Amino acid sequence: MTAQKTEHGVSESLSIQPSENLCAPQTEPTGIAPQTGSEGQEEAPGERPTGVAAIRRALRTMPYAPGVYRMLGARGEVLYVGKALSLRKRVVSYTHVTRLPERLRRMVSETVTMEVVTTHTEAEALLLEANYIKRMKPRFNILLRDDKSYPWLMLTDEHPFPQIAKHRGKAVRGASLWGPFASAWAVNQTLNLIQRVFLLRSCTDAVFNSRSRPCLLYQIKRCSAPCVDRIAPQAYAQLVEQARDFLSGKDKALRETLGQEMNEAAEALDFERAALLRDRIRALAQMQESSTINPASLPEADVLGLWQEGGQTCIQVFFIRGGRNNGSRSFFPAHTQDEAAGDILSAFIAQFYDDKPCPARILVNADLPEQSLLAEALSLRRGRKVEITFPQRGEKKQVLDHAVTNARDALKRRLAETAGQARLLEGVATLFGLDAPPSRIEVYDNSHIQGAHAYGVMIVGGPEGFDRKAYRKFRIRGPVTPGDDFGMMREVLERRFGRALKEAEAGDTSNWPDVLLIDGGAGQYSAVRAVLDDLGVSGVTLVGIAKGPDRDAGREWFYTGEGEPFQLDPRDPVLYYLQRLRDEAHRFAITTHRAGRSKTLVTSELDDIPGVGPARKKMLLNTFGSARAVRQAGLAELEAAPGINREMARVIYGHFHPDWQPG
């Protein structure tokens, strides 16, 4: 992609081939270009047009080509991303404000400038639009909240005895992947079945190479123990091929083959092998029966059921691969109440498959605008044809109805939880004299062992429960006197609000808390109050929550700095909610501290050797068994170690023998 800066804006030309990665354009606009006034009039120095005037000014150099446009606000933030077959014709529509819905009117009023990216086709523009929306999260677009990585089943291909294992992340060279699965539970179920039926190893190569006798999985008939030659390579290769057929949806032929082998074993009076084959056939049948839906007419598809209620939307996705259900997951895209179901579903599909492989078929329960264009764009990304269909009858319709039912139930649960959460926040507002229910409650805690491995944490609660994406960890940098919790809390708050104050000066108060909850009594409250006053933090309600003398839950005292501390009824729901917030902060602090402490426990003297990174460290430990054995190894032994050349061996040997001089 090439970028060209014009007199009035920035335009880019994008060339995309089906095999290219559309997730990261090669060149981004470097800034907001200076603009001139609307209707051909120049603004006075220092003035900056907004709204329709800014859009009309950008239209002067807007091309008629297909592409993506971005509307930017005063701080350079992306307000909206859209695509068009003709950029100029599409953007002109934003100058007719009276024809726009209220949401787009607000967007136009905040627009200061625009940036465009031209593409070869509208399908390429749609893919790029979805990528931009997912990365930039413009607040006037429909947004998919999906930060989850999905698990896959991986079968290593290059090893003589391939391993079957669960995998997350990028594809691994020399391995075959099946999935995705909706959850770790779903992939674990299939992995257990693969072990029971096909007896494939799940251990790592390092464990495989170090075994001298079979492990427990062999004893419980979950592995054929190829590590100690309990199965011939040809027989293991046959099991691998059968597993591939099963994962590819050819389980019917597989069951017939296993049944024939069982009969042959029984006729040959090899009853032990016949019983083993019988158990494998039963496991396959159990897997087929345990799945909620296993449509024979859908060997590979994603089923998307949408349900709307109360101004919110839930989309339930069923992942069907090899004719089996790989699990399902509920999504709740962010949008305004006036968005149509088809628009929401189209935006969801474009963003959902931006970084995931697309199946051959997608079933939906709504008519999509530009459905053929969306299918063309997904086909372009996949490199093969993708169909988007709205089935009206038959087995596909039954599967889709099942997804819609699950979406309806999930949304009802969410609405009920949200309503309950709203009542709790109203109770918090009444309890602490707030003008409105708080939208962001921050809770702080710290954990250490006599000053060692000290960490502070922040957790966040709000209308949708715990906001785990907003959790923060603070590794205490300054020297900490054992037991000086006040000093640790001061450092955490200075770092947290030092950044928040800078964001507020720039006009961003989205992460500003309404309530700050700390675990402690009058002393902790006074210390934190002093820190906030020193930083100039105002408009935040500070609350201290302390257990009574007997440390009994339900007898907590609350400190607000106004009046005497008070207690709540032990059965008060607001008390339960505040306890949950405090306990969540305590849990997060403990797990953060333990994780940090564990990292230091796994360090060794090998980490201090120049040029020895994690990979070489692992190879050395696998070869010699321990850091002590590496230290005692001779120069010739080090040179013979895998991954260690002659020069590196001398560096390692010299590290442990400072007086040694190379010959």
CA nearest neighbour of 142 among 129, 154, 153, 151: 129
CATH architecture of 2-136: 3-Layer(aba) Sandwich (3.40)
Q: Which of 24-28, 118-122, 353-357, 535-539 has the lowest mean pLDDT?
A: 24-28
* Whether the Cβ atoms of residue 486 and residue 448 lie closer than 8 Å to each other: no
What confidence category does residue 42 fall into, taking pLDDT thresholds of 50, 70 and 90? very low
Domain ranges of the chain: 2-136, 152-249, 300-412, 441-599, 605-656
Q: What is the pLDDT of residue 379?
A: 93
Mean pLDDT of all residues in the chain? 82
What confidence category does residue 652 fall into, taking pLDDT thresholds of 50, 70 and 90? confident
* Whether the Cβ atoms of residue 127 and residue 381 lie closer than 8 Å to each other: yes
Q: Which of 158-172, 254-268, 300-314 has the lowest mean pLDDT?
A: 254-268
- % residues pLDDT > 70 (the chain): 86
User: In which element (H, E) is residue 316 found?
Assistant: strand 312-321
Pairing of strands 472-475, 465-466: unpaired
Classify residue 229 by its DSSP letter. Answer: T
CA nearest neighbour of 345 among 359, 365, 320, 330: 365
Distance CA 29, CA 13 (A): 11
Distance CA 189, CA 483 (A): 47
Answer yes or no: is pLDDT of 37 > 60. Answer: no
The total of other beta-carbon atoms located within 10 Å of residue 491's CB is 20
For residues 264-270, give the mean pLDDT: 80
184-198 vs 271-290: helix crossing angle, rounded to 10: 160
For residues 538-546, give the mean pLDDT: 89
Q: What is the pLDDT of residue 7?
A: 33
Looking at the DSSP bridge assignments, the partners of residue 542 are 516
Q: What is the pLDDT of residue 173?
A: 81
CATH architecture of 605-656: Orthogonal Bundle (1.10)
**Token pair of 602 as six digits:** 């796994």
Q: What is the pLDDT of residue 501?
A: 86
Q: Which of 74-78, 107-111, 288-292, 309-313 has the lowest mean pLDDT?
A: 288-292
Distance CA 75, CA 504 (A): 12
- As a whole number of angstroms, the longest Cα–Cα distance in the chain is 99
Determine the length of the chain.
663
Answer yes or no: is pLDDT of 391 > 60. Answer: yes
The total of other beta-carbon atoms located within 10 Å of residue 594's CB is 13
pLDDT tens track for 333-353:
988 888 899 999 999 999 999
Q: What is the pLDDT of residue 355?
A: 83
The one-letter amino acid at 467: D
The CATH number corresponding to 300-412 among 3.30.420.10, 3.20.20.70, 3.40.50.450, 3.30.420.40 equals 3.30.420.10
pLDDT tens track for 594-634:
877 666 555 567 777 888 887 788 788 778 877 788 888 88
For residues 467-484, give the mean pLDDT: 79
Answer yes or no: is pLDDT of 314 > 80. Answer: yes
Cβ neighbours of residue 191 under 8 Å, at least 6 residues apart? Answer: 153, 164, 165, 166, 202
Cβ neighbours of residue 374 under 8 Å, at least 6 residues apart? Answer: 126, 346, 349, 350, 368, 388
Pairing of strands 465-466, 452-462: antiparallel
Per the model's pLDDT, the better-predicted residue between 440 and 180 turns out to be 440
Cβ neighbours of residue 385 under 8 Å, at least 6 residues apart? Answer: 360, 379
- % residues pLDDT > 90 (the chain): 29
For residues 158-175, give the mean pLDDT: 85
pTM for this predicted structure: 0.68
For residues 626-650, give the mean pLDDT: 84
441-599 and 605-656 agree in CATH topology: no
Looking at the DSSP bridge assignments, the partners of residue 447 are 455
pLDDT tens track for 426-468:
999 999 999 999 999 999 988 866 656 788 899 999 988 888 8
Answer yes or no: is pLDDT of 19 > 50. Answer: no
Place domain 441-599 in its CATH homologous superfamily. UvrC, RNAse H endonuclease domain (3.30.420.340)
Per the model's pLDDT, the better-predicted residue between 37 and 359 turns out to be 359
For residues 95-115, give the mean pLDDT: 90
**Token pair of 206 as six digits:** 């390092």
